Homo-oligomer: A and B are copies of this chain.
Amino acid sequence: MKDIDNNILLVEESLYATANGYIGIRGNFEEGYKAGFETIKGSFVNGFYDTHQIRYPESAYGFPVVGETMVQVADTQKIQIELDSEVFSMDSENYQIISREFDVHKGITTRQIKWTSINGNTFLITFTRMTHFVHLELFVIHLTIESDTYSGPVRIKSYIDHNFQTRKDTDDPRVATEHIEPLKIQNIEFNGEMGLIESQTVNNHLKMQVAVAHDISGIWESKDQMLVFNATMNMEKNRPVDVTKFVVFSDERRNLDYCKFGRNQLKLHLSKGYGALHDEQKNYMKSFFEKCEIIIEGDDSLTKAIAYSQYQLLAASGKDGVSQVAAKGLTGSGYEGHYFWDTEIYVIPFLTLTQPELAKQILKYRHNILEHAKERSLTLGHKRGAKMPWRTIAGLECSAYFPAGTAQYHINADVAYAYLQYYFMTHDTEMMQEFGYEVLYETALLWLEVGHIHGDEFCIDGVTGPDEYTAIVNNNYYTNAMAKYHLYWTVKLYAQYKTENMSDNAIAEMKWAAEHMRLPYDEELNIHKQDEQFLSKAKWDFENTPKNKYPLLLNFHPLYIYRHQVLKQADTVLAHFLLDEGHESVIRDSYHYYENITTHDSSLSPCVYGMMASRIKESEKAFHYFMKSVYLDLHNLHGNTKDGLHIANAGGTYMGIVFGFGGLRIKPDGIYLNPHRPKEWKSYSFKFVKDDTVVKVSVGDLIKIQTSHEIVLRINHKVYEISDEIEVPLNEH
Complex: A454 Cα to B534 Cα, angstroms: 12
Q: How far is the CA of A37 from the CA of B196 in the complex (A)?
A: 54
Which residues from 393 to 408 on chain A have a C-beta closer than 8 Å to any C-beta of chain B? 399-403, 405-407
Q: Is the CB of B58 within 8 A of A405?
A: yes
Would you call A559 and B406 a contact (CB within 8 A)? yes
Question: Does any Cβ of B come within 8 Å of A305's Cβ?
Answer: no
A554 adjacent to chain B (CB < 8 Å)? yes
- By a CB distance below 8 angstroms, the chain B residues around A406 are 557, 559
- CB-nearest residue of chain B relative to A474? B533
Binds B, one of A59-67, A358-366, A479-487, A589-597: A59-67
A177–B60 CB distance below 8 A: no
Contact A59 B560 (CB under 8 A): no
Secondary structure dominating the interface of A: loop
User: Does A604 make an interface contact (CB < 8 A)?
Assistant: no
- With known contacts A402-B559, A472-B562, A178–B61 Cβ distance under 8 A: no
Q: Which of B178, B379, B452, B559 is A472 in contact with, Cβ under 8 Å?
A: B559
Instruction: List residues of chain B with CB within 8 A of the CB of A402.
Output: 557-559
- The verdict on A462 contacting chain B, using a C-beta distance below 8 Å, is yes
A63 to B533, CA, bound (A): 25
Q: How far is the CA of A692 from the CA of B516 in the complex (A)?
A: 66
Cβ–Cβ contact A58 & B560, under 8 A: no
The minimal Cβ–Cβ distance linking A390 to chain B, given in whole angstroms, is 11
The digit string for A540-582, where 1 denotes a CB below 8 A from any CB of B, is 0000000000000111111110110000000000000000000
Given A472-B471, A537-B474, A538-B452, are A399 and B557 also a contact pair (CB < 8 Å)?
no
Contact residues of A between 627 and 680, Cβ < 8 Å to B: none
The answer on a CB contact under 8 Å between A462 and B562 is: yes
Which residue from chain B places its CB closest to the CB of A381 in the assembled complex?
B560
| Cβ-based interface call for A730 (8 A) | no
Query: A536 interface residue, CB < 8 Å from B?
Result: yes
A556 touches B61 (CB 8 A): yes
This protein's copies in its complex = 2
Interface: A532 (CB within 8 A): yes
Q: For A61, list chain B residues within 8 Å (CB).
A: 553-558
Q: Are B400 and A57 in contact (CB under 8 A)?
A: yes
A401 touches B58 (CB 8 A): yes
By beta carbon, the residue of chain B nearest A552 is: B61
Question: In the complex, what residues of B have CB within 8 A of residue A381's CB?
Answer: 556-557, 559-560
Closest to A554 in B: B61
- Option from B60, B171, B471, B537 in Cβ contact (under 8 Å) with A553: B60
Q: What 0/1 readout, one digit per residue, does chain A (372-414) give for beta carbons within 8 Å of chain B?
A: 0000000111100000000000000001111101110000000
Q: Which chain B positions have C-beta within 8 A of A254? A: none
Q: Are A557 and B379 in contact (CB under 8 A)?
A: yes
Q: Which of B54, B171, B461, B555 contacts A537 (CB 8 A)?
A: B461
> What residues of chain A have their CB less than 8 Å away from a CB belonging to chain B?
54-63, 67, 170-171, 173, 177-178, 379-382, 399-403, 405-407, 450, 452, 454, 459, 461-463, 471-472, 474, 532-533, 536-538, 553-560, 562-563
Q: Which 5 pairs, one residue from A and one from B, show the smallest C-beta to C-beta distance?
A: A62-B557, A381-B560, A462-B563, A57-B400, A452-B538
11 pairs across A/B with beta carbons < 8 Å?
Answer: A54-B57, A56-B57, A58-B173, A58-B177, A62-B558, A62-B559, A62-B560, A381-B559, A452-B537, A462-B562, A463-B559
